[in-house]
Amino acid sequence: MRLTAIATLVSLALIACAPPVTQDSAPVPQAQQAPTLSNRDWQLHQVDGHALDPALVAAITQPVSLRIDQQHIDGTGAKLSGFDGCNRYFAAVEIDADQLRVGAIGASKMYCEASSAFAQDFQQRLRQVSQYQIESSELQLLDASGQLLLSFRQP
């Protein structure tokens, strides 16, 4: 009982000695950091600088997406994965500064009447990627000549 009373008095003394929290002493929010390439989900919003066809968007079950994990769970290095409008896909990826090279792409083998052709075209564009840049919150994948292939945003 005596120890409890002493502990309570010590706690109250410490609280009383602490400076009051005011507007000036409240934590200052940190500036919004620019998005990084890896460990983020990205959703496709343009192909060759053009918005996605609304009929395609209506036909697919979920947004076309991309994710790059630089340290994959199995310890083998960077991996790319996502949904191409029809199938889940995955590939090894090499990243060096602003260079990005996609390895062989594997995918599930669903047939989607409305989006199979788009999915094949999307994967073909991924194979052509050799550079990337992030402007604002937009990930742009470019070919060797700097031509924009695919543009993604964070959801």
pLDDT tens string 28-67:
444 444 457 778 899 999 999 999 999 999 999 899 999 9
Using 50, 70 and 90 to split pLDDT, how confident is the model at 98? confident
Decide if 10 is inside a domain.
no
Decide if 9 is inside a domain.
no
| Domain housing 48 | 41-153
Decide if 106 is inside a domain.
yes
Question: Which has the closest alpha carbon to 101: 71, 141, 129?
Answer: 129
How confident is the model at residue 152, as a pLDDT? 95
Q: Taking CA 93 as the corner, what is the angle to CA 87 and CA 99, rounded to the nearest 5 degrees?
A: 125
Is the pLDDT reported for residue 5 higher than 80? no
CATH number at residue 89: 2.40.128.270
| % of the chain exceeding 70 in pLDDT | 74
Average pLDDT over residues 12-27: 48
Is the pLDDT reported for residue 144 higher than 60? yes
Question: Which has the closest alpha carbon to 118: 45, 67, 64?
Answer: 64
How confident is the model at residue 10, as a pLDDT? 44
Is the pLDDT reported for residue 9 higher than 50? no
Decide if 36 is inside a domain.
no
Decide if 24 is inside a domain.
no
Which of residues 136 and 20 earns the better pLDDT score? 136
Decide if 130 is inside a domain.
yes
Q: In angstroms, how far is CA 97 from the centroid of its own chain?
A: 17
Q: How many domains does the chain have?
A: 1
Using 50, 70 and 90 to split pLDDT, how confident is the model at 150? very high
Decide if 143 is inside a domain.
yes
- pTM, 2 dp: 0.72
Sign, Cα dihedral of 57, 59, 62, 64:
negative
Decide if 74 is inside a domain.
yes
